[in-house]
Structures are given as C-alpha cells and as structure tokens.
C-alpha cells in the first residue's frame, strides 16, 4: 500500500483553510441572539365595541394561552435568557412574565408602541383606509393615525436598540409591539432607516435575530407556536378594524 504524503504547499493550503474554519466557528459562537416578540392578544374595545385606553388593556384569556404557547416553545428549545425587556405598557410585561417566569422584567419606555392620535379626529370617511394602512407608511413625515410620525418613531426606537446592544448579554428576550418590531426588523434587514411595513406581527409571535461581528442575521419572522401555518389572511390592522367598525359607524 502506498501512502501519499501531502506536499508542503497543500499542507499550507489546508492549514490556512482550517484556520479560516476555526475563525468562522468562533465568530458564529460569539453571535448574540435576540428573541423579539409581540405581546399576546388584548382587546382594544369594550363590550359595546367602543375603543378603550390602549395603555391599560390586559391580555385576554386567549392571549394568556398564546403566551403560554410561546413559553413552551422557548422551554423546549432550552433557551436560557440573560435579559428580558419590555415596553412600559402592561400588555408587554404580562406577556413577558408568562413567557419568562422567574426573570426580572425591565420596562423600557422608548420601546413603547408607535403612538397614534385620536381616532375621532380622523374624518369618518377616511378612517378605514387610514386605520388598515397605518403600519404600511414609508414617508418619515407620515403620522400613525394622526399621532407620532414614522421619523419620530425611528428617532425613538433606534437609540433604544443601541442602548440594548450596549448591555452585556448573549441571549435576550424583548416583548414589544407590532409597529416597534417592524422598525427593529427593518433595521436588522437594511442597516439604516428603511422601514418595511408589509410583513405581519401576530399576537405572541416570535422573531429570531442574531447579531455578530458580521452584522445582523434575521432567522425567523412572525413565528406563532400556537398557529404556525397562519391560516388567517387578514392583517393585524384589518382585524382591529373589524373590532371597532361598529363604533366608527355610530359616530
């Protein structure tokens, strides 16, 4: 049997390749992971169908079930969290407490939802179009239902993300809001102030974002453990509009 001895040049090439693979492995293992969730289901209308204060609404019974489904998904994946953050609104804190029991939950006001204005200030004939298209704007001057502009929301959320990344953690959970999540995922995809409003964020959905020396990797968007194939075809804003349609018609 003849054993072929690698030439000096081939050994050198293999060594360089091996070193490159080692560096790549080290980069991969140094990536941080952010589990980004939207809060679970709430109801923004009362029993009569009239809008209620969005700042104080609790999770619905179905919303608590959704949060428990997300908790099971993370537990089954043996996710170990170093940091849990929410906005300063109760619906995000309640979701986080179910998803990550036993963890300290930090409220970050600058991760609060894209702030809308008063619905009754929008002409009735314009309300449906304004409402269902509110998250699809691209102009930074455009205002979310007459409230905070896209540019103002970017100016608030992007620095909050920078502060979050300045903290020391390897695996974090952020339970936030549909509009804010769109801003964060858009930044991970584009690296700038580009905003993509055409993807969905279902209640208690899980997004998986990794960050390393080579930038962001968007691994998962809008995964919902309790309904992974997304049978519903209406958007979040269309669903909410269906809830308040009766109130708007009665004005």
The model's pLDDT over 150-170, given as tens digits with 9 standing for 90+, comes to: 999 999 999 999 999 999 999
Element (H, E) at 129: helix 124-132
Q: How many CA atoms lie within 13 A of 95 on its CB side?
A: 34
Q: What is the pLDDT of residue 22?
A: 47
β-pair type (171-176, 83-86): parallel
Asked if the structure places residue 16 within a domain, the reply is: no
Integer-rounded Cα Rg, in Å, for the chain is 22
Average confidence score pLDDT of the chain: 90
Number of domains, the chain: 1
Q: Could you tell me how many helices (H) and strands (E) the chain has, helices first?
A: 7, 6
Which residue, 34, 175, 170, 43, is CA-closest to 98?
A: 175
At 2, the pLDDT band (50, 70, 90 cuts) reads very low
- Cα gap 231→244, rounded to integer Å: 22
Q: Is the pLDDT of residue 18 over 60?
A: no
Q: Is the pLDDT of residue 23 over 60?
A: no
Decide if 43 contacts 60 (C-beta within 8 A): yes
Range of the domain at 139: 32-249
- Cα gap 204→175, rounded to integer Å: 8
Tokens of 213: 């020396």
Asked if the structure places residue 183 within a domain, the reply is: yes
Q: What is the mean pLDDT of residues 127-136?
A: 94
Decide if 115 contacts 135 (C-beta within 8 A): no
Percent of the chain clearing pLDDT 90 (strictly above) = 76
Asked if the structure places residue 124 within a domain, the reply is: yes
- Cα gap 230→113, rounded to integer Å: 23
The CATH number given to whatever domain includes residue 224 is 3.40.50.1240
At 173, the pLDDT band (50, 70, 90 cuts) reads very high
Asked if the structure places residue 6 within a domain, the reply is: no
| pTM listed for this prediction | 0.86
């Amino acid at each position: 049997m003849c054993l072929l001895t690698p030439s000096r040049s081939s050994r050198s090439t293999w060594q360089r390749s091996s070193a490159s693979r080692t560096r790549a492995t080290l980069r991969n293992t140094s990536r941080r992971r952010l589990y980004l969730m939207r809060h679970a289901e709430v109801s923004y209308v009362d029993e009569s169908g009239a809008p209620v204060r969005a700042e104080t609404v609790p999770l619905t019974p179905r919303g608590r079930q959704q949060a428990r489904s997300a908790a099971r998904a993370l537990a089954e994946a043996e996710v170990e969290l170093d940091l849990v953050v929410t906005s300063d609104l109760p619906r995000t804190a309640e979701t986080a407490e179910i998803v990550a029991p036993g963890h300290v939950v930090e409220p970050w006001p600058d991760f609060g939802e894209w702030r809308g204005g008063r619905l009754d200030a929008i002409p009735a004939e314009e309300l449906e179009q304004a409402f269902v298209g509110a998250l699809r704007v691209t102009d930074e001057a455009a205002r979310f239902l007459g409230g905070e502009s896209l540019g103002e929301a970017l100016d608030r959320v992007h620095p909050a993300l920078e502060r979050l990344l300045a903290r020391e953690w390897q695996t974090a959970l952020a339970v936030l809001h549909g509009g804010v999540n769109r801003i964060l995922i858009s930044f991970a995809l584009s690296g700038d102030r580009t905003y993509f409003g055409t993807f969905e964020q279902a209640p208690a959905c899980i997004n998986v974002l990794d960050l390393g020396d080579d930038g962001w990797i968007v691994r998962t968007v809008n995964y919902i453990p309790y309904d992974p194939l997304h049978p519903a075809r209406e958007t979040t804003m269309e669903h909410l509009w269906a809830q308040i349609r009766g109130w708007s018609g009665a004005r």
